[in-house]
Copies of this chain bind each other. A is one copy, B any other.
Amino acid sequence: MSVTAAQGFEAAGVAAGLKHSGDRDVALVVNRGPSQAAAAVFTSNRAVANPIIWSRQVIGDGTVSAIILNSGGANCFTGHEGFQATHATAEAVAEAVGVSSGDVLVCSTGLIGEQLPLDKLRQGVTDAAAALSADGGDAAAHAILTTDTHAKTSVRTGEGYTVGGMAKGAGMLAPGLATMLVVITTDAQLAASALDSALRNATRVTFDRLDSDGCMSTNDQVTLLASGASGAAPDEAAFTAVLTEVCRDLAEQLQSDAEGASHDIAITVTGAATEDDAVEVGRAVARNNLFKAAVFGNDPNWGRVLAAIGTTSAPFDPYAVDVSMNGVRVCHAGGPDQPRELVDLTPRACSVLIELHAGDAEATILTNDLTHDYVHENSAYSS
């Protein structure tokens, strides 16, 4: 049900011919209210796509009536003509569903540097508006996919309200924020400022800690729309907890469908001086190609873990660090501990525990291994 699990929303996913495959490539989600509060977080990449430039303006007043998303083209580095295409898309949605274009968010995903075919996109908007329904969440979730192998959706319920979402990811998964397109809807009654705060708190510990390949996209956006249709008005903390569950579930689905990956790696750093240090250490390991290739080869090469930690600015003593892989402590106090042969890395799930012994803070970073399939998917064709 994804984005239509919550009351007050309609969605559709149609094929507009933007993808060569002929698959669905335009998704539309409309908030029928009574409230139209919204929040969004955007990629922190300084080179951003035209839809991001547009959507940053739209979200300013905290009111969003609809969001249109296309796969098959990122509309990034496409200059003035590209921005006009984004604007025209919002105008087409506004006309088709009877809202103001200034309340229409736009998201695009696909190849950078090519213009979108505006005629096809406009027809897609018309078709999507005609197909809108309260059962359209799954079709929308399919329409935003690129190299994903399946749709990602998640639904949780709070006290008297529902939170549901859809996500696309697959490649270029890195932090700060998102590197993905995500739309989450709720029928809870919350003001835009509360939604913004809840969304930032939820993404900080979920999507922001997914770092599949260290590459940060130009188009990423996580959007939260609230209709208020349930009549429930939860307090912000309770709502944030439910929202965080949806975000974590979607983040884990993105990880497990990352391009070419054969392992889902959770790197937990404990005993850090600060949470930021824990994140920095986890991320340094997550981005180390030698470590990632070793995991692909089922090789518990803890030396590469320590070499990666050594590139960070986090306080630690290299001769105090412990490292465990899949429950076997292979490094104690910066030296060899249990034999590496005891570590079984054949399961897809791989856990790395790094104990810095430098404080009380911790964080977990999710990443993937570096595989032949990753190289193939990112070299054999443009994406």
Contacts and interface: CB of A to CB of B under 8 A. Distances in A.
Contacts of A213: 289-290
Please tell me how many copies of the chain the complex holds.
2
A172 B376 CA distance: 22
A20 interface: no
Contact of A290 (B290, B293, B310, B378): B378
A215 interface: yes
Contacts of A76: 303, 306-307
B46 A318 contact: yes
Interface residues of A, number: 61
Interface stretch (A101-109, A247-255, A294-302): A294-302
Contacts of A48: 310, 318
A46 B293 CA distance: 22
A101 B67 CA distance: 72
Interface of A (DSSP majority class):
loop
A331 interface: yes
Interface in A332-383: 333-336, 370-372, 374-376, 378-382
A123 interface: no
Interface of A: 45-48, 74, 76-79, 82, 111-115, 171-172, 213-218, 287-290, 293-294, 296-297, 299, 301-304, 306-312, 318-319, 331, 333-336, 370-372, 374-376, 378-382
Given A115-B336, A216-B311, A289-B374, 16 more contacts: A46-B311, A46-B318, A77-B303, A111-B303, A112-B302, A114-B336, A172-B290, A214-B287, A214-B289, A215-B304, A215-B308, A218-B310, A294-B379, A297-B379, A297-B380, A299-B379
